[in-house]
Chains A and B, each alone.
Chain A
Amino acid sequence: MTDPTSRAKTWWLLQALSGLALVLLLGVHFVAQHYVAQGGLRTYAQVVAYVRHPAVAALEAIFLVVVAVHAALGLRAVALDFGLPAARQRSLNAALAVGVVLVVGYGLWLLAQVRGGAG
């Protein structure tokens, strides 16, 4: 039985839009790390100095959130491709939401640690 209150369109659009955002964010991520930062980020000190810039930290945080959401929606699509019934979709959504929170939480914690010059 399919779900008459399905948000299938919303999920598909969110995946498409997050994907398009990732193309831009990933481009900036690559270019900033390998070209704008002189000689690329090689040493520990260079990495710490780089992420201490507020704009860079904000960019990396946004990138992390978008990539985590996009990946979760991708995994959800694969699960549904294998005929996941509507009754289990709620559990899958919850599990993926927890995964996104964990990944984003860990990533932000790591960012804060590095910005603080941990180690």
Chain B
Amino acid sequence: MSSPSTVQLRVFRYKPGDPAPHYDTFAVPVTPRTTVLEALQAIRRDQDPGLMLRHSCHHASCGTCGLRVDGQEVLACVTPLADRGPVVTVEPLQNAPLLGDLVVDMGPFYAVFTQAGMPLVRSTEATAASRPAVGIERLTRFENCLECGLCVSACPVAATDPLYLGPAALAAAWRVVQEPRGQNPARALAWVDQEHGCWRCHLAFECSTVCPNDVQPGQAIAALRQRLVLGEPAPPGPAAAATRPAPAPTGPARRVGLRAWLDPRGRDVGYWAFVLHRLTGLALVAYLLLHLWVLRLLARGPAAWDEFIALARSPLFLALDGLLLFGVLFHGLNGVRVALVGLGAAARRQRGLFWAVLLLTLLLLAAGVAALVAAVH
């Protein structure tokens, strides 16, 4: 048995009535097998009995101890603390009402599951003679959801849109569509077919990345879209008018907003594809307007146009041209990726497709810049 070393645990603190959250740092002894949850329990036992945290089973089965460790959503009970560096930051989940310290109110999260059609209820009891249905394996992935909320915390859309149904509920709805057990799947499809339903997702796939049980909500959302586009149409009706319950007025909502789009900690390539797609998209809208404004010089005659062409050959302008070309190439190629993945055609290959998009962007950019330079000289 190795002797314990010490880690500084920087813990998010907030109690109702506090003017603002702050962080407290605790020195905790750790062995190679110490988990984040064990360290937090040691702090509460030995240093600060007022530390609020949630936990239950200690073996990644109940989904109660979801937290953010160094910016990434994890289950604290199965996350080792060693090898994370001398200072580790622990924060509560995002995009849920904060109750205190590391505890968030899961009520709104659970409530939206009910609207999705969960829990599934068996119409008959299993008997000793009954056998699992053929093809049951493909359904168990979505049945494995622990309802831990990590996916909602990691989702960049949930960070900014309080009306978004969220990845967990959408995955649950897909589970209902797959095997309805007496429920009407059209109701679930109608429920997700709304602005703040499956069409709000931008396929960052952080939900699938952080999911501790490989439920893959991102792929479920892509499958819902595929069904809505290619399958039977979902009838509109009262079922589509479901809403996400308003958060209880307990504390700061921890909905981090735009900052979530730019927080690099613990994020995967799908997230960066989303952020880059958004930024290049907004930049290209600005460029479109600028482009039309510059082209007005054509209506003023040759002198005004030639003056602009002279300016366009300056090194600064050429550098901006290169940046523009990058934006156009990435946005265009990633747009093709988003369309394919978003319709479920390549949802499981989204990571590889991102690298292909980036590689092709850089190759075409190099060719374009070379052509640009040659045209000027």
**Which positions in A face B, CB cutoff 8 Å?**
1-6, 8-9, 11-13, 16, 19-20, 22-23, 26, 34, 40, 42-45, 47-48, 67-68, 71, 74-75, 77-78, 80-83, 85-86, 89, 103, 106-107, 110, 113-114, 118-119
In residues 179-195 of chain B, which contact A (Cβ within 8 Å)? Answer: 193-195
**Which of A19, A20, A74, A119 makes the CB contact (< 8 A) with B302?**
A119
B242 CB-CB contact with A under 8 Å: yes
Interface of chain A: mostly helix, strand, loop or mixed: helix
Expressed in whole angstroms, the Cα–Cα distance for A42 and B238 within the complex equals 59
* Known A-B contacts A44-B306, A80-B161, A114-B299; A4 and B238 likewise in contact (beta carbons under 8 Å): yes
B322 CB-CB contact with A under 8 Å: no
Q: Is the CB of A2 within 8 A of B240?
A: yes
Interface of chain B: mostly helix, strand, loop or mixed: helix
Per the CB 8 Å criterion, the residue count for chain B at the interface is 55
B19 CB-CB contact with A under 8 Å: no
Expressed in whole angstroms, the Cα–Cα distance for A103 and B257 within the complex equals 31
Expressed in whole angstroms, the Cα–Cα distance for A71 and B282 within the complex equals 8
Total inter-chain residue pairs, C-beta < 8 Å = 137
* Known A-B contacts A71-B288, A114-B298; A6 and B161 likewise in contact (beta carbons under 8 Å): no
1/0 contact trace for B186-221 toward A, CB 8 Å?
000000011111011010000000000000000000
* Known A-B contacts A6-B195, A26-B328; A83 and B161 likewise in contact (beta carbons under 8 Å): yes
**10 A-B pairs with the lowest CB-CB distances in the bound complex, closest first:** A119-B301, A44-B302, A8-B199, A113-B299, A16-B339, A19-B335, A44-B305, A4-B240, A83-B161, A8-B195
B252 CB-CB contact with A under 8 Å: no
1/0 contact trace for B330-349 toward A, CB 8 Å?
00110110110011000000
B53 CB-CB contact with A under 8 Å: no
**Which positions in B face A, CB cutoff 8 Å?**
157, 160-164, 193-197, 199-200, 202, 225, 228-229, 236-238, 240-243, 257, 278, 281-282, 284-285, 288-289, 292, 295-296, 298-302, 304-306, 309, 328, 332-333, 335-336, 338-339, 342-343, 371, 375
Q: Is the CB of A74 within 8 A of B281?
A: yes
Please give, as numbers and ranges, the residues of chain B lying within 8 Å of A103 by CB-CB distance. Answer: 288-289, 292
Please give, as numbers and ranges, the residues of chain B lying within 8 Å of A19 by CB-CB distance. Answer: 332, 335-336, 338-339
* Known A-B contacts A83-B161, A119-B301; A2 and B285 likewise in contact (beta carbons under 8 Å): no
Q: Is the CB of A107 within 8 A of B161?
A: no
